[in-house]
Structure 1
Amino acid sequence: MYSHLLLAADGSKNALRAAHEALKIASAMPGCKIEILFVIDNSKVKEEVLHSQNQEEREYKRHQKLLPIEEVFADQGIPHHFTTIHGDPGPAIVDYAKKNEIDLIILGSRGLNALQEFVLGSVSHKVVKRASCPVMIVK
């Protein structure tokens, strides 16, 4: 059924819940690979640079945000791989999924209200709208 899952993760509580759902799916399918994708939003890099002393510190902080997600899979012995890319998160996730023959994209919902979603757009909405494979949004 699914052999290659993409978990889009940003270190949030919703991303952690999405990781638990990805774990359930992967556990039921022997040989299933999980790709954990972290997209560095170019519009937020400036703020990161201003609040850190060097590149190593930024990398360390990013890793710390994703550590609980990694532990979900490591604790259960589920094969997983981290990938970090730069770009606008919604389109970047979709492009990555297409290029890497992903069977299912799993991501957390940030829970924007209707006005925020209308004005800003949500990553999950952009992914659902553009993806060519199934997408699971976890609340």
Structure 2
Amino acid sequence: MYKNILLASDGSKHAIRALTQAINLAKEVEEATVTIVSVVDRAKSKKAVGKDDKDEVIDTPSNALRETEDALTQQNIPYKVQLLYGDASEEIVDYIDKNQIDIGIIGSRGLNALQEMVLGSVSHKVAKYAKCPILIVK
């Protein structure tokens, strides 16, 4: 069934809800592995700290993923962490397509339908372009 599960996470409350679903799915398949994917947008992070040199910008998420890793460890679910750089939706879709992911799980930002159509969201774009099923968790 779903052996290769991708969990897109930024440590937000929606990502933590998505974690619960990833755990539930992983428990159903004996050899399931969860890949936690977190995307760093270097352009935004450089602008936020006022730096131009990419080496001066911290490229790793803070402790945002600690809760996710701890929960998977407590449930004895094998996982790995993949840090990606760039536009979140593009990087997640690219990773899914290149790594034989069976299902992607991503939290919703909770935007209403009009905002989602106007602004677009990472979850919406991933669901639209990925070549595997995507579970969007509210």
Q: Same fold (TM over 0.5)?
A: yes
Aligned: 1:74 with 2:73? yes
Query: Please, what TM-score do these two structures have when normalized by structure 1?
Result: 0.88
Contact 1:8 1:15 in 2 (8 A): yes
In 1: Cα distance, 2:125 partner to 2:42 partner: 17
Q: Is the 8 A contact 2:36 2:82 kept in 1?
A: yes
Change (3 A) 1:42 1:59: closer
Q: What code does the residue aligned with 1:3 have?
A: K
Percent identity of paired positions between Structure 1 and Structure 2? 47
**Change in CA separation of 1:57 and 1:44 when aligned onto 2, cut-off 3 Å:** closer
Contact 2:37 2:82 in 1 (8 A): yes
CA distance in structure 2 between the partners assigned to 1:114 and 1:59 by the alignment:
32
Q: Does the 8 Å contact 1:26/1:32 carry over to 2? A: yes
Aligned in 2, Cα 1:32/1:135: closer, same or farther, shift over 3 Å?
same
How far apart are the structure 2 equivalents of 1:118 and 1:43? Answer: 24
Which residue of structure 2 lines up, in the alignment, with residue 116 of structure 1? Answer: 115
Q: 1:46 to 1:120 in 2, by over 3 A?
A: farther
The question of 1:28 aligning with 2:28 is answered yes
5+ unaligned residues in a row in structure 1: which ranges? Answer: none
Report the counterpart of residue 128 of structure 2 in structure 1.
129
Superposed displacement of residue 49, structure 1? 3.3
Name the SS for the 1:34 alignment partner: strand
- Per-residue Cα deviation, 1:16-51 (whole angstroms, up to 9, x for no partner): 110111000001110101100001124422244349
The residue identity in structure 2 corresponding to 1:65 is: A
1:7 partner letter: L
Structure 2 partner of 1:11: 11
Q: 1:69–1:57: structure 2 CA closer, same or farther, 3 Å change rule?
A: farther
